[in-house]
Amino acid sequence: MKIEFVGATEGEAPMTWGQRLMWRAVHLMGASQNYLNCPFVFPVYGRRELSTVLDALRVLIERHETLRTTFSDAGQRVSREGVLEIELVEAGAERGLRVAERVAGEMAHTVFDHGAEWPLRCTVVLKDGRPFALACVFTHLAVDYHALALLAEEWKALLRGAELPPVAWQPRDQAGLESSDAWQARSTRSIAYWRDVLRDVPVEVFDHPPGEPEDPRFIEVIMDSPALAVAATRLSNRLTVSSTSVILAACAEALAGVNTRSRVVMQLVHNNRRDARTREMVGTVGQDALLVLDRPGPDFAEFCRTTHRAALQAYRNAHYDPAAMTVMREKAGGHDLDAFFNDRRASPGWPALPADADLSVAKTRTYTENAWPGVRFKVFFTVGADAGTGLLSIIADTAYLPRATVESMLRGVEARLVAAV
């Protein structure tokens, strides 16, 4: 099937700083750039006709320029009109959402042709002939996980037949803002902060050389732990810091445990949406923040507070021109900084966590879900977006962190949080 869309605007512009950072990542990842694809499922609420579902999708595309944008070295190009091909899949006897999640994941395996292809692919999953869910995959150049949460809310409203207000801020507006004198000055301050911090940190993430990698070399190990969510929530409330900072502190301690370095250096993926204009913008504005912590001591509560303060300082200095940042980093000695942390939750906490969830680790499980021939980092911690359980994953280069070590690190994070409670 096809959706024909006609938006109100078109034009060309430079990429936003967030898009430019992602564009560089696309090229660095090469054959593994499908890692940067974002699978997402929009449930169809109520008994809706197929025409209603397709019309809601059409409105989303017409409203948000980023969903009708192609990308190249020259920047972003927004088209006014176009056609999006839509697949239909019947779920049969399987659970509809499970089918939709599988379909979205399968679509995410294919790399986007950013210069010729729309930045999303969609399949309507049917149950007994009726639309049950919309399975999608987006390129990370077009959306981040905050943007997906915004789209999900609009999707609900459109299925109810609601009229949505006009979109006030688009990625092209953001790109124009970032070229202003005020934002260029902001970039200069952030880069100066990074330069000062990098003077006192190791050039390499690990103090040990790479060993023989496993096959596949780059893997993602996931821990599903209700206990982690319970413990992080209780510690967050007790210490009056965010649950993100609590988990980050435990992950930094786990990273310190496989090193002998006196300092822990990580890059934090930050959505950069403190500005009211970007808070409601569907697009990609996130950038990396630089976090440096002294090796944690025995007082974990104090380490959580220290981590929280350091993270806030890092976030304040995460707005910068990526090209200028690259030049500075090369002059500063080419630090690899290949340890990352990302919290994908759209809002704090776990609102769907079962009421009877407790600190027992009996329900915790770890499993390996994804693998790649090559990625641009050595270790990447991610807090998953599932609202009903604590999801924490590590993507690791097994030349530095074998699978068994990665699993031990995840269990260590859980154990540290539970013990602290």
Q: Are 101 and 136 in contact (CB under 8 A)?
A: no
Q: Domain check: are 144 and 218 in the same one?
A: no
Structural domain ending residue among the three candidates 174, 193, 225: 174
d(CA 41, CA 105): 10
Q: Which domain holds residue 338?
A: 202-420
140 and 229 part of one domain? no
At 204 the pLDDT is 85
Q: Tens digit of pLDDT per residue, the chain (421 long)?
A: 999 999 999 999 999 999 999 999 988 888 888 989 999 999 999 889 999 999 999 999 999 999 999 999 999 999 999 999 999 999 988 888 999 999 999 999 999 999 999 999 999 999 989 999 999 999 999 999 999 999 999 999 999 999 999 999 999 999 999 999 999 999 999 999 999 999 988 888 888 899 999 999 999 999 999 999 999 999 999 999 999 999 999 999 999 999 888 899 999 999 999 889 999 999 999 999 999 999 999 999 999 999 999 999 999 999 999 999 999 999 998 888 899 999 999 888 999 999 999 999 999 999 998 888 888 889 999 999 999 999 999 999 999 999 999 999 999 999 999 999 9
Tell me whether residue 266 is in a domain. Answer: yes
Residues 44 and 141 in one domain: yes
Find the CATH number of the domain harbouring 231: 3.30.559.30
Q: In this structure, is residue 280 part of a structural domain?
A: yes
Q: How far lies 293's CA from each of 193, 238, 267, 395, in Å?
A: 15, 22, 12, 21
Please indicate, yes or no, if residue 189 is contained in any of the structural domains: no
Q: Is residue 55 domain-resident? A: yes
Residues 235, 323, single domain; the answer is: yes
Q: What is the pLDDT at residue 262?
A: 85
What is residue 386's DSSP assignment? -
| 3-class state of residue 250 by DSSP | helix
Q: Are residues 163 and 232 both part of a single domain?
A: no
CATH code at position 19: 3.30.559.10
**Residues 355, 220 within the same domain:** yes
The answer to whether residues 242 and 170 belong to one domain is: no
Distance (Å, whole) CA 278 – CA 19? 14
CA geometry: angle at 228 spanning 225 and 241, to 5°? 155
Number of domains in the chain: 2
In a domain, 193, yes or no: no
User: Judging by beta carbons within 10 Å of its beta carbon (0-12, 13-18, 19+), is residue 373 exposed, middle or buried?
Assistant: exposed
Asked if the structure places residue 150 within a domain, the reply is: yes
Quote the CA–CA distance of 236 and 253 in Å, as a whole number.
17
Residues 147 and 245 in one domain: no
CB-based contacts of 174-181 (< 8 A; 24+ apart in sequence): 174/16, 174/277, 174/278, 174/281, 174/283, 174/285, 175/13, 175/14, 175/15, 175/16, 175/19, 175/75, 175/76, 176/13, 177/277, 178/16, 178/17, 178/321, 179/14
Same domain, 169 and 206: no
Please give the full DSSP string across 314-355, using - where no structure is assigned: HHHT----HHHHHHHHHHTT-----EEEEE--SSSS-TT--T
Same domain for 269 and 153, yes or no, is no
Distance of CA 363 to the CA centre of its chain: 26
Please check whether residues 386 and 293 belong to one and the same domain.
yes
Query: Burial, 107: exposed, middle or buried (Cβ in 10 Å; 0-12, 13-18, 19+)?
Result: buried
Q: Are residues 217 and 118 in the same domain?
A: no
Please report whether residue 374 resides in a domain: yes
Tokens representing 189 are 């301050």
Asked, for residue 416, whether it belongs to a domain, the answer is: yes
